[in-house]
Amino acid sequence: MTAEYRELYRDRAVMITGGLGFIGSNLARRLVELGADVLLVDSLIPDSGGNLFNIDGIADRVRVNVADIRQQTTMNHLVRDRDVIFSLAGQVSHIDSMRDPYTDLEINCRSQLTVLEACRNHNPKVKVVFAGTRQVYGRPDSLPVDESHLVRPTDVNGINKAAGENYHLVYNNVFGVSACSLRLTNVYGPRQLIKHDRQGFIGWFIRLAIQDQAIHIYGDGSQLRDFVYVDDAADAFLRAGASDACNGEVFNVGGDEPISHRDLTALLIKVAGRGSVKYVEWPASKKAIDIGSFYADSTKFKRTTGWTPAVSLADGLRRTVEFYRAHFSEYVPDEPEAERL
């Protein structure tokens, strides 16, 4: 797939669920640049990542509908004229899914069925790209992990995300609603939620470094992870949305530079020029659902679409730190000095 995939989006009607969130808003920026007609749907649930500041600078070039995608009548209306839907709305906190499994089920399963049923009944020719997760694999049997690995989640979030993914494959295979799933690894970058630590550790680590605080690493820091800069993730969605070869398939979308937590924090502290590291014991609640070392093999997606990550980890961290330094107050609410220390 050459650069022509970008031209497909000119004047195309696109909807992003979770469009005011981290990946959704960065994807929206790319689509605006490509001349798409962009509709963002977001419920702005507190603590979920939706932030109106995420569309600062493009707010006059997108349409925003504040709505809950679990509402069938609303979705029936919103999907009608869309050519491509990027299905990014979801509950992504593993810890929250264990504390409140029913809400996770509602958002990651029922809401996906609501969108797909709306498509089946009111716009069956639409293309849907679902934001899946590497969490569906659970603890890997071997590394790197490719798509043939067993799906064996270790937490409620992974189970529900796997179900949401499979709904999309069924609607593709049975009802003819073109759909695919991208199993994302650790996406990071500007506009990520950093006001709490329940939506992935990398954003939280970045916040602590900027604030010159201690980054707590569980265990000895030898665990390996791969990371994808958000612009590269957005490009993956664009390619999947433009490719019929992706229909009915699942793909890993991961980074090319697996790195240990220990080396990651060293790099982050070097980039930020601030912060420190403290090694601590695993909390029981997090150790129980930890998957150990994980990094993905994205060969299948690269061969199918030509995608490859373009932003190195060092450069991505630099861009991210610069963004939050410029806009920190938009992402971290004011808090008493005593609470920050």
Does domain 201-224+257-295+311-340 fall under CATH 3.90.25.10? My reply is yes
Task: Identify the band that residue 2 occupies on the pLDDT scale cut at 50, 70 and 90.
Answer: low
DSSP H or E segment with residue 30: helix 22-33
User: pLDDT, tens digit, for every residue of 85-109?
Assistant: 999 998 777 677 788 888 888 889 9
Residue 327 has pLDDT above 50, yes or no: yes
3-state helix, strand, coil in the chain (%, to 5): 45, 15, 40
Least Cα distance to 273 among 341, 339, 206, 196 occurs for 206
pLDDT at 274: 96
pLDDT at 1: 55
Average pLDDT of every residue of the chain: 93
pLDDT at 167: 96
pTM, full prediction: 0.94
Task: Identify the band that residue 304 occupies on the pLDDT scale cut at 50, 70 and 90.
Answer: very high
Count of residues for the chain?
341
Partnered with residue 145 across adjacent β-strands are 296
Task: Identify the band that residue 291 occupies on the pLDDT scale cut at 50, 70 and 90.
Answer: confident
Lowest mean pLDDT among 16-25, 97-106, 133-142, 158-167: 97-106
> What distance in Å separates the CA atoms of residue 254 and residue 182, rounded to the nearest whole number?
10
pLDDT at 338: 37
- The first and second tokens of residue 163, run together, are 């179900």
Contact 251, 182 (CB under 8 A): yes
pLDDT at 92: 73
User: pLDDT, tens digit, for every residue of 140-164?
Assistant: 999 999 999 999 998 889 999 999 9
Question: What's the mean pLDDT in 4-16?
Answer: 96
User: pLDDT, tens digit, for every residue of 209-236?
Assistant: 999 999 999 989 999 999 999 999 999 9
Q: Domain 4-189+227-253 adopts which CATH fold? A: Rossmann fold (3.40.50)
Contact 181, 240 (CB under 8 A): no
Question: What's the mean pLDDT in 25-52?
Answer: 94
pLDDT at 61: 98
Task: Identify the band that residue 56 occupies on the pLDDT scale cut at 50, 70 and 90.
Answer: very high
Domain range list for the chain: 4-189+227-253, 201-224+257-295+311-340
Q: What number of CA atoms fall less than 13 Å from residue 270's CA on the CB side?
A: 9
Residue 318 has pLDDT above 90, yes or no: yes
Q: What number of CA atoms fall less than 13 Å from residue 9's CA on the CB side?
A: 28
Query: 296: which DSSP letter?
Result: B
